[in-house]
Amino acid sequence: MKFRSSLSNLKQETLFVAIILMASMALSQNASAQEGLKTYTGAFADGATYLIEVPHDWNKTLFLYSHGYIFPDTPNPPWDNADVLVRLYLLSHGFALAGSSYASTGWAIQDAFKDQIAVLDKFNQLVRQPDRTVAWGHSMGGIITAGLVQNHPDRFSGALPFCGVLAGSVGVWNDWLDSAFAFNTLLAGGQLQLVNITDPETNLINAEQTLSDAQNTAQGQARIALVSALVDSSGWIDPFSPPPCPTCYAELEANQFVSLAQNFDFFLYFALRAELEGRAGGNPSWNTSVDYEKELKISVDYDEVQALYKKAGLSLDADLKTLKSTQRIAADAGAVKYLSQNVVFNGEIKVPVLAVHTTGDDVVNVQNEQAYAAVVHKTHRDSLLRQAFVHRASHCNFTSAETIAAIQALLHRLDTGEWDGVDAEALNDAASRLPRVYDFLFPGAPLSRPAFVHYEPARFQRPYDGSE
């Protein structure tokens, strides 16, 4: 007990010191960044609001930030960054920041495209046209970032999508449908609404209850593993712990259960899809031609599924036959067209793109990066794309240092015309040269040292790009 008490005190003291360091660094940078800072706010005709910040020593480079998914009926302010320390770093180094709220919440990609370009026009009007504009954003903001430079290459010099939905809207919503379909068929008795959802709240409650009940049996756990395998769930949810060992199947499944139940997944599957369908004018997803046995065999979780089915005394072949014989879901053509426009990727990038992803992302799986690289490769634009991977669990878990290192690497590419310093060792070195105050995922968290790694994602299971 004495040892545990001492350890607890040490952790508390370390945390206190870290918070003081972070506060002092922020105050120091804040003084530099805020001196002479000009801030512009306002609203567009569609109701979207914008935020622009220009330091007194602006270096004529603008960072346009695209924020991620905002739940419907929740506050929707404008964002020009997602990390206070990164904000202060950029402002204190002469970079201007800008971003909008988008006119609506939810899967608001169509609004985002319009409103983010409107921010650039407003910046030109209020300040002047930047010499360089860098698009950046997280999660849904990552797909918006990649979509902006695809649709408006003349307005941007480069892009930094972090943890982005880079398989494109159609592919990722199909991927999520596959997982939901397996769950509904094998565990929920077909009682859930997968598309054309009329009562999202009740649908979600019923799905969560079914999931909770299934976790109480070995058979349910095996089927949860299969459901998770169809979205290549990482089975790693704690960013402050190493990943489970590859054969620790029970731990992997337990983490996948948490990912489905407590993270974003089931909201997307059984509730938030309704908001998307309202935008698209129907159901934009389908599984009419999917071979689930084939999909499972290319999953990173295939061995886990086989082991847990064997342990539970279940026939995996029988469940795959059930999936094969169950009535499939067709998409509405108009809705597919809408979702393709908002957005799928054609690979024809014309500016440098550095995409960054955590290897253990359990919401937007890291395989999204493989889908994006594959379509870029089709157009022979590989020289404009680099991808960096941070070995850490969960969605968008980057330290300020890792984010700044990626920003520095892209700026070097824009300055010199050469990709240099984008391999894992160089990015870790760059992040390590920053003060330790940047090595936090969030205030009050333990220190997290830079964790870039060499990594090659597995194949995305449901690719759909602009060539299809």
Q: Express each pLDDT in 197-218 by its tens digit.
A: 999 999 999 999 999 999 999 9
Claim to verify: residue 306 and residue 433 sit in the same structural domain: no
The verdict on residue 382 lying in a domain is yes
Q: How confident is the model at residue 444 (pLDDT cuts 50, 70, 90)?
A: confident
Q: What is the average per-residue pLDDT within 44-48?
A: 98
Average confidence score pLDDT of the chain: 93
Q: How confident is the model at residue 30 (pLDDT cuts 50, 70, 90)?
A: low
Residue 211 CB coordination number (10 Å)? 20
Q: What is the pLDDT of residue 171?
A: 98
Claim to verify: residue 354 and residue 411 sit in the same structural domain: yes
Claim to verify: residue 9 and residue 140 sit in the same structural domain: yes
| Domain that includes residue 214, residue range | 169-339
Q: What is the pLDDT of residue 5?
A: 31
Domain boundary among 314, 339, 364: 339
Q: How confident is the model at residue 55 (pLDDT cuts 50, 70, 90)?
A: very high
pLDDT digits (tens, 9 = 90+) for 290-305: 999 999 999 999 999 9
Claim to verify: residue 6 and residue 141 sit in the same structural domain: yes
Q: What is the pLDDT of residue 129?
A: 98
Claim to verify: residue 394 and residue 312 sit in the same structural domain: no
Number of structural domains, the chain? 2
Output 7 or 90, whichever has higher pLDDT: 90
Q: What is the average per-residue pLDDT within 156-162?
A: 98
Tell me the Ramachandran region of residue 244: left when phi exceeds 0, alpha when psi lies from -120 to 50, beta otherwise: beta
Nearest-angstrom CA–CA distance, 266 and 194: 11
Nearest-angstrom CA–CA distance, 345 and 143: 9
Q: What is the pLDDT of residue 8?
A: 32
The verdict on residue 256 lying in a domain is yes
Q: Which residues pair with 386 in a beta bridge?
A: 354
Question: Does residue 468 register a pLDDT over 70?
Answer: yes
- 463: tokens are 């690719």
* 239: three-class secondary structure by DSSP: coil
Please confirm whether the linkage preceding 84 is cis (ω < 30° from 0): no
211-220, 270-279, 442-451: which range is least confident on average?
A: 442-451
Claim to verify: residue 300 and residue 321 sit in the same structural domain: yes
Q: How confident is the model at residue 467 (pLDDT cuts 50, 70, 90)?
A: confident
Question: Does residue 34 register a pLDDT over 90?
Answer: no
Q: How confident is the model at residue 1 (pLDDT cuts 50, 70, 90)?
A: very low
Q: What is the pLDDT of residue 161?
A: 99
Q: What is the average per-residue pLDDT within 367-371?
A: 98
Domain boundary among 322, 339, 356: 339
pLDDT digits (tens, 9 = 90+) for 413-430: 999 999 999 999 999 999
Helical ranges in 333-399 per DSSP H: 333-341, 367-378
The verdict on residue 55 lying in a domain is yes
Claim to verify: residue 185 and residue 208 sit in the same structural domain: yes
Domain boundary among 304, 339, 374: 339
Question: Does residue 137 register a pLDDT over 90?
Answer: yes
Claim to verify: residue 305 and residue 379 sit in the same structural domain: no
pTM recorded for the entire structure: 0.93
Q: How confident is the model at residue 13 (pLDDT cuts 50, 70, 90)?
A: very low
Claim to verify: residue 152 and residue 180 sit in the same structural domain: no
Claim to verify: residue 180 and residue 260 sit in the same structural domain: yes
Question: Does residue 262 register a pLDDT over 50?
Answer: yes
The verdict on residue 463 lying in a domain is no
pLDDT digits (tens, 9 = 90+) for 311-322: 999 999 999 999
The verdict on residue 462 lying in a domain is no
Claim to verify: residue 191 and residue 114 sit in the same structural domain: no
* Identity at 449, one-letter amino acid code: R
State the CATH number of the domain containing residue 146: 3.40.50.1820
Claim to verify: residue 79 and residue 227 sit in the same structural domain: no
Q: How confident is the model at residue 32 (pLDDT cuts 50, 70, 90)?
A: low
The verdict on residue 426 lying in a domain is yes
Nearest-angstrom CA–CA distance, 89 and 433: 14
Question: Does residue 101 register a pLDDT over 80?
Answer: yes
DSSP code for 70: B
Q: What is the average per-residue pLDDT within 94-99?
A: 98
Question: Does residue 272 register a pLDDT over 80?
Answer: yes
The verdict on residue 224 lying in a domain is yes
The verdict on residue 460 lying in a domain is no
